[in-house]
Structure 1
Amino acid sequence: MTSEPHTSPGHPANARIAAEQVNFPRPLKGSASQHLVVTMLADYWRGSAAWLPSRLIVALAGSLGLSSSAASTALSRLAGRDVLEQSNAGRTSRYRFTPEAKARLDIGVGQIGGFGSQERRWDGMWTVVAFTVPESSREMRDLLRSRLKWLGFAPLYGAVWVSAWDTADELEDSCRHLGVENYVIFRTPEAELRGRPLIEAWDLEDLRRQYTPFIDSYGRKARTLDPQQLSGAEAFKLRTEVIDAWRAFPWEDPGLPPELLPREFPLFEARRIFVTLYNSLADAAAVYVEETAVRLAPDLAGEIRAFRVKA
């Protein structure tokens, strides 16, 4: 049982596009059973090829407040989404992440773990994309908009989207894969822009407000919590809840460069809270998961990896 940092390895275009096709449940405001199970499994078995018996997953999900039926239904639906693959050993159902899901998790975990970090420096350049998708291809247009949002773009005008980061290669890969042909992507320096400021593509006050519940819920705990005073089950539950709440933010916030944000933007306080709780609870939570695995699935002893994020 060890702790490892989250990493963000590079992925060739074909592998990245294949990974994008895995139908992960979208993070929601508040916990839902499918993405709570994904969060839990990714936290401790993302890098493992071991088969996890359903009794172990259901038991751990129970520690998070999910009923046996809710956890079992979540597993079945995640298998239907190609997030998990299923195998039977006698009367026991077993699950593990599909290879494509693991590739997607490698990408997503790097983005989620690094979200809000001020280490990434802005080069003063904007990425702009303009596109046309026929009304008859509405599904293609919706998929493109969803992909743009995940890459950190926002609509300045209906079909003109902007991002402060250099994601041109990833976006071009996605356009080709989706079959979008009528588009142009270019980079432009901030100093040469005229007219409407591109930062106005985002409602910064709306972005600011989304962090209030997180800070209110977990800020005091981050300041005062002594992990030694918690049981393993309590540490496991709180750690899972914290990252499950945190992982929703990159869907709504593009992670704009600090240079473009108001002073004391709450994203940075929220990140400090997240990193403090997530990392400080890692050891106690991993011990609890290991003990549960030893009791219900002894073959998995030593397979547990409690991941950490870089402060």
Structure 2
Amino acid sequence: MNEDLAPRTVIEACLPMRGEVGLDVVLDTANAAALADQPVRLALRRMVGAGEVLQTGRGRRGAVRLTETGRARLERDRAALVLAEAQDRGRTSWDGLWRLTAVSLPESQRSRRDALRRRLTELGAAPVSTGLYLSPHDLLAMLDRDATDHLVHAEAGRVEVRGVTDPLEVTELLWPAAPVIDGYLALEETVDRLTAASNEADATRVRILQLRLADALETAMRRDPLIPPELRPTPWPPSRIRQGWRSAWRELVSLAPDGGVYQGWPGFRGES
């Protein structure tokens, strides 16, 4: 878990998906997380300049809210949380198709080509040959709209990777379970520690605990390509640990007089 929270992380956490939040709340939360006002104001100006948030008023009496652009970006960035929740609750299933994606750009556009390859990797696709990526998920909707102009995409019911054809063996070959599980075991330890620290915490402290809890989940999920449960061993420890995370999140929400941070965000409802 990253103990040093970025100013942007704190600002985003304070922003509800709908409605506005006072700048006093944002700055007080940042101060409690050991951040000074100036870097937070600078990050906020950058977000305003990018068209992601709208600020009204000045100083601590002002307020900020997400724009449609900012809301769309946050929803796209949190799509992994939504998918994880759907998997854990049995609301989604694998359709049995593998997706093969290749980036089709010439050497003269190397930077653009490399950026698309990095993005595919970030989304959990595994390289199986030079410029060719495999995933059980359809990742096209997660890419920028113009990216599809530079991709070759195919679907297959059967793939063979390095002589392996069994879907579970292909999964273990390309997305080994052990590193993913290790990341979630670290999350489990953090959940236990933060849950114990929530006793008698005041409202501001609860918001900081929420920030730490969310940061720990994000850290674990960076290593998780969210392979469909049908392709993982049963039981799958990350699913159990995420359920424990949601229980801890619900507890913190109940302790915060206003519900705390990440209000209305996908993946942060903490439903039973």
1: CA distance, partners of 2:27 / 2:6: 11
Does 2:132 correspond to 1:163?
no
Q: Find the counterpart in structure 1 of residue 238 from structure 2.
A: 267
Q: Give identity over the alignment, percent.
A: 22
Residue aligning to 1:201 = 174
Instruction: Say if 2:174 is the partner of 1:213.
Output: no
1:99 to 2:60 alignment = no
Equivalent of 1:56 in 25, 44, 51: 25
Partner AA of 1:108 in structure 2 = D
Higher relative contact order (CA 8 A, sep 6+): 1
- Aligned-residue Cα RMSD (Å) equals 3.3
Task: Report if the CA contact (8 A) 2:3-2:212 is conserved.
Answer: no
Counterpart amino acid of residue 130 in structure 1: A
Match of 2:153 in 1: 185
- CA displacement 1:96-123 (0-9 Å, x = unmatched): 2222111122333353244253322112
- Give the conservation status (yes or no) of the 8 Å contact 1:126–1:187: yes
Counterpart pick for 1:256 among 217, 221, 227: 227
Distance of 1:196 and 1:254 partners within structure 2: 20
Question: How far apart, in 2, do the equivalents of 1:288 and 1:254 lie?
Answer: 30
Report the counterpart of residue 270 of structure 2 in structure 1: 309
Alignment partner of 1:140 is 2:108 = no
Query: 1:267 aligns to what SS in structure 2?
Result: helix
Deviation at 1:39, TM superposition (A): 4.1
Paired amino acid for 1:196: V
**What residue in structure 2 maps to residue 36 of structure 1?**
9
- Matched to 2:182, the amino acid is R
Provide the TM-score with structure 1 as the length reference: 0.69
Aligned to 2:37: 68
Matches of 1:157 and 1:228 in 2, distance apart? Answer: 52
Does the 8 Å CA contact 2:102/2:152 hold for their aligned counterparts? yes
The CA deviation at 1:286 is 4.1
Name the CA shift for 1:248/1:84 in 2 (closer, same or farther; >3 Å). farther
Q: Tell me if 1:152 matches 2:100.
A: no
Question: Normalising by structure 2, what TM-score?
Answer: 0.78
Q: Which amino acid aligns with 1:103?
A: A
Give the Cα–Cα distance (whole angstroms) in 2 for the partners of residues 220 and 88 of structure 1: 39
Distance 2:190 2:60 in 1: 42
**Per-residue displacement from partner, 1:160-207 (whole Å, max 9, x unpaired)?**
111112345x26x74x603743x42111114x6473354222243332
Distance (Å, rounded) in 1 between the aligned partners of 2:49 and 2:228: 38
- For residue 150 of structure 1, report the CA deviation from its aligned partner: 4.4
